[in-house]
Structure 1
Amino acid sequence: MSYADTALPVSLNRTSGTPLAVQLADALREAAAGGHLRGGDRLPSTRALAERLGVSRTVTSAAYEQLHAEGWIAGRHGSGTYVTTPPTRAAASVVPPDSLVAEADTAPMLDLTPGAPWAAGVDRAAWRRAWRAAADPEPLTRAHRAGLPEYRAIVYEHLLRHRGLAAGSVLATGGTTSAVVELAAAVVRRGSAVAVEEPGYQRAVQAFRQAGLTVAGVPVDEEGMRPDAIPAGARAVYCSPAHQYPMGSRMSAARRVQLVERARAENMLVIEDDYDGELRFDVAPLPLLAALAPDVVVHLGTTSKILTPTLGAGWLVAPAGVAESVLAYRDLTGTRPSPAGQRVLVELARAGDLGRHLRRLRRELAVRRTLLAEALSAAAVPVLGDDAGAHLVVPTESPEDESRRIAAAERHAIRLDGLSRHFAGTPTAYGIALGYGGCSREALIAALPRLVQLLS
């Protein structure tokens, strides 16, 4: 069915303070969610719709671009623009302010905990195209223990282009946590001590402990992990220097040099978790520790933060001896990273869709962070963390204050995350780690007044 020759359910209010492009996108989104427009319905071209509504083509193009990014519409080459099946999370993630107050018992939960990617921003047409292309090769009879050669080549190019790393031994992984599990079991001797950021990524902490390693917390401040506080005798150091998780700071150049010098002098392996290193909004992505000291640094990356956990794909770049130990462990245990997600990433990269998505992702998250930071700052709420990634931190004065704010938000259908749970030992800092990547921008904007009130 085509709507090119019939009336669309659109009414624009030119006296409203809401931009016309936003009004148009809202009207089409509501029509799709309400069933007036259905999956497969063809929309008018941006030019035809602009003429019909009496607006500039800039307005209709901006509205279509927003809906395309959210997955509500998709373009077909040479055919036009069509409504897709509405995203299952879209309706659940849009929470108007009134329902946050008056209907909290029945309102869908708005999840603002960190760690979720902007999966709704993945181009659905590109996504389907990549999966179809990934199914073209013959099924494998044996999995590649190091990962598909074409996947490793794509990762090499990605790291060189986006992170400035001329990678050495590139191995596919199932993601950051699975890579940490392999390193803990295959490289670091059981009973050894491993230093971790405090606060830090607790799944890595548990992976080390399950492998029989002793975990020693190292304080983090506005310059990242403190290398001088790493205990003597540690055999490995786990850190996130580009964007510390969860505090959001970056390791200073002086500390990077200090960490590398200690690692070389004391025979320590540095495990660099670059979980969202591509996502900086103020400056170019910072140089990797692996580029500074490839002889003592293992670099870990993942697609779960820049695309979606659906792929279950990541990578590990390591000195040759470390890479061989990981491969030997895989042979011994029969474990292999799944090639399905690897094939999809290869196709996304080959078509240029990965690069386009990263550009859109940076723009979108930069806007969201600015919205949050400005609203909080206007209410005199302090904000911690670099202008990067998909989360920021609002400090609180005490653990009771942290818990009280989380509980209050829960009563208003907003899920928040506290800093306390990110400590392996006794917490020494308290606050809210506020994620803004997993929801829609509309839901975030709608929740801002209530959110600011809760955190003030």
Structure 2
Amino acid sequence: MSYADTALPVSLDRDAATPLAVQLADALREAAAGGHLRGGDRLPSTRALAERLGVSRTVTSAAYEQLHAEGWIAGRHGSGTYVTTPPTRAAASVTVPGSLLAEAEPAPLLDLAPGTPWAGGLDRAAWRRAWRAAADPEPLTRAHRAGLPEYRATVSEHLLRHRGLAAGSVLATGGTTAAVVELAAAVLRRGAVVAFEEPGYQRAVQAFRQAGLTVVGVPVDEEGLRPDAIPAAARAVYCSPAHQYPMGSRMSAARRVQLVERARAEGMLVIEDDYDGELRFDVAPLPMLAALAPDVVVHLGTTSKILTPTLGAGWLVAPASVVDSILAYRDLTGTRPSPAGQRVLVELARTGDLGRHLRKLRREMAERRTVLVAALSNAGIPFVGDDAGAHLVVPTESAEAEAELIAAAERHSIRLDGLARHFAGTPTTHGIALGYAGCSREALMAAVPTLVDLLR
């Protein structure tokens, strides 16, 4: 027998195996997702809805509690219960320029490119709680040019606890690339030479070039960037010493000292990209360059790899002169990082959910890497990269072999990433940068045999 509410698209079946409370929650969730209920709509009280549906109040209360925990509804003291989630399907009717549609095309079935975070590992309940709590403070009337004070304090605590850096001046940023844009515009003079890891992070390369800077590639090997190969004309050097991107090496202690000494002697600024420094599995990470030489090093961090790009939040730790220049640039241009993602990170840290996620993330990535390394080793397939991060590199004999592997994998609905696109100049090393974070563990495990056959 079915009971239908005349105002809401709800149908409950007492003869079904699914509990009535679950049926009700599913129906209301579907109504909110489909647009029948919109953000701000007021729902009946649990008592009123129970009477209208002919069920006990226990059923409606349980359904509301579940939807509240998921973030679909919220109670307002003395006012009632309201839908908090706007319809998501209505957006399909919006006209989008063709150039943007190309970006929105669905990814291949399995994405094994590096740089994608393990977003599926986020505790969704904690994620929703953090966003709701982030909305509690009064809306800002003036933006904080340096970032929210509570966010900067949270980042300082995070860096001390997880990276061993006693940070001085912390600035909020919109992420690594956004920080590079500001450094290029506010600190480095147009036409200046920037030494860059080759291969390296090409978005940063392009950001420097767009600002009118000259980028010169510096080779990397199993010990990271080679300080002896930095050109004498360089005014800055960009590197990822904790886990070189994309080759996966770690800069040795001797080279860190050599780099710092050259920077001090020649007036160079060292830009340290610590994109996934929290993800080491074998040994404790070496001290960061910013800890060794805070007078010449700019440290960049981001939430994009350890959490999700959704937050659009990162940080910068730099000498006072660099901080002052960036703040002046922000005042001049009116550009500041969005506080929304900052507030969410603060809440995740305050509740301990950030620490729990990082521990979970390290365990998961270590286990995935172990499985992948074992499969490659058993098949006699060579690979390079430290026991860290969320990717490794499988070398190939030529650029043609690299391209053929990418094409063959795509025919098997697997997306692979070649080293060619990580070079600003002519590629001198060929291979596949193999990521293992951007999919479920089950999907990765299922794809391993096919992957090994392709790489063999």
- Normalised by the length of structure 2, the TM-score is 0.78
Structure 2: give runs of 5+ residues left out of the alignment: 1-10, 30-62, 73-87, 89-105
- 8 Å CA contact 1:241–1:272 kept in 2: the answer is yes
Aligned residue number for residue 158 of structure 1 = 158
- 8 Å CA contact 1:39–1:83 kept in 2: the answer is no
CA distance in 2, matches of 1:284, 1:350: 25
- 8 Å CA contact 1:38–1:83 kept in 2: the answer is no
Aligned residue number for residue 195 of structure 1 = 195
CA distance in 2, matches of 1:276, 1:111: 19
Q: 1:130 to 1:107 in 2, by over 3 A?
A: closer
Q: Aligned to 1:140, what secondary structure does the other structure show?
A: coil
Aligned residue number for residue 388 of structure 1 = 388
Aligned residue number for residue 184 of structure 1 = 184
Aligned residue number for residue 377 of structure 2 = 377
Shift in Å, 1:233 = 1.6
Aligned residue number for residue 58 of structure 1 = none
Aligned residue number for residue 65 of structure 1 = none
Q: Which has the larger radius of gyration?
A: 2
Aligned residue number for residue 55 of structure 1 = none
Q: 1:285 to 1:40 in 2, by over 3 A?
A: farther
- Normalised by the length of structure 1, the TM-score is 0.78
Identical aligned pairs, as a percentage? 82
- 8 Å CA contact 1:38–1:84 kept in 2: the answer is no
Amino acid at match of 1:424: A
- 8 Å CA contact 1:304–1:311 kept in 2: the answer is yes
- 8 Å CA contact 2:108–2:415 kept in 1: the answer is no
Q: Aligned to 1:131, what secondary structure does the other structure show?
A: helix
CA root-mean-square deviation: 2.8
- 8 Å CA contact 1:176–1:273 kept in 2: the answer is yes
Aligned residue number for residue 112 of structure 2 = 112
Shift in Å, 1:38 = 6.1
Shift in Å, 1:83 = 9.6
Aligned residue number for residue 78 of structure 2 = none
Aligned residue number for residue 334 of structure 1 = 334
CA distance in 2, matches of 1:308, 1:254: 34
Task: Note the alpha carbon deviations across 1:300-354, whole angstroms, 9 max, x for none.
Answer: 0000000000000000000000000000111111100000000000000000000
Aligned residue number for residue 248 of structure 1 = 248
Shift in Å, 1:168 = 1.1
Q: 1:397 to 1:123 in 2, by over 3 A?
A: same
Q: 1:229 to 1:147 in 2, by over 3 A?
A: same
Q: Is it true that 1:344 corresponds to 2:369 in the alignment?
A: no
Q: Aligned to 1:275, what secondary structure does the other structure show?
A: coil
CA distance in 2, matches of 1:7, 1:357: 35
CA distance in 1, matches of 2:380, 2:71: 42
Residues 316-331 of structure 1 mapped to structure 2, 5 A cutoff: 316-331=316-331
- 8 Å CA contact 1:40–1:83 kept in 2: the answer is no
- 8 Å CA contact 2:396–2:402 kept in 1: the answer is yes
Residues 243-322 of structure 1 mapped to structure 2, 5 A cutoff: 243-322=243-322
Q: 1:195 to 1:371 in 2, by over 3 A?
A: same
CA distance in 2, matches of 1:432, 1:153: 39
- 8 Å CA contact 2:71–2:128 kept in 1: the answer is no
Q: Which runs of 4+ in 1 moved over 4 A?
A: 37-41, 82-85
CA distance in 1, matches of 2:163, 2:107: 41
Shift in Å, 1:109 = 2.0
Q: 1:216 to 1:39 in 2, by over 3 A?
A: farther
CA distance in 1, matches of 2:302, 2:419: 23
Residues 116-135 of structure 1 mapped to structure 2, 5 A cutoff: 116-135=116-135
- 8 Å CA contact 2:383–2:394 kept in 1: the answer is yes
Shift in Å, 1:284 = 1.8
CA distance in 2, matches of 1:243, 1:133: 34
Aligned residue number for residue 356 of structure 2 = 356
Task: Note the alpha carbon deviations across 1:366-425, whole angstroms, 9 max, x for none.
Answer: 011111111011110001100111100000000000000000001110000000110011
Q: Aligned to 1:245, what secondary structure does the other structure show?
A: coil
Task: Note the alpha carbon deviations across 1:166-217, whole angstroms, 9 max, x for none.
Answer: 0011000000000001001110111110000000000010011011111110
Amino acid at match of 1:447: A
Task: Note the alpha carbon deviations across 1:134-170, whole angstroms, 9 max, x for none.
Answer: 0000001111000000000000000000000000110
Shift in Å, 1:7 = 8.0
Aligned residue number for residue 453 of structure 1 = 453
Shift in Å, 1:445 = 0.3
Shift in Å, 1:365 = 0.4
Q: 1:398 to 1:349 in 2, by over 3 A?
A: same
Q: Aligned to 2:183, what secondary structure does the other structure show?
A: helix
Q: Aligned to 1:146, what secondary structure does the other structure show?
A: coil
CA distance in 2, matches of 1:39, 1:300: 45
Aligned residue number for residue 5 of structure 2 = none
Q: Aligned to 2:234, what secondary structure does the other structure show?
A: coil
Shift in Å, 1:283 = 1.1
Q: Aligned to 1:444, what secondary structure does the other structure show?
A: helix
Structure 1: give runs of 5+ residues left out of the alignment: 9-31, 42-75, 89-105
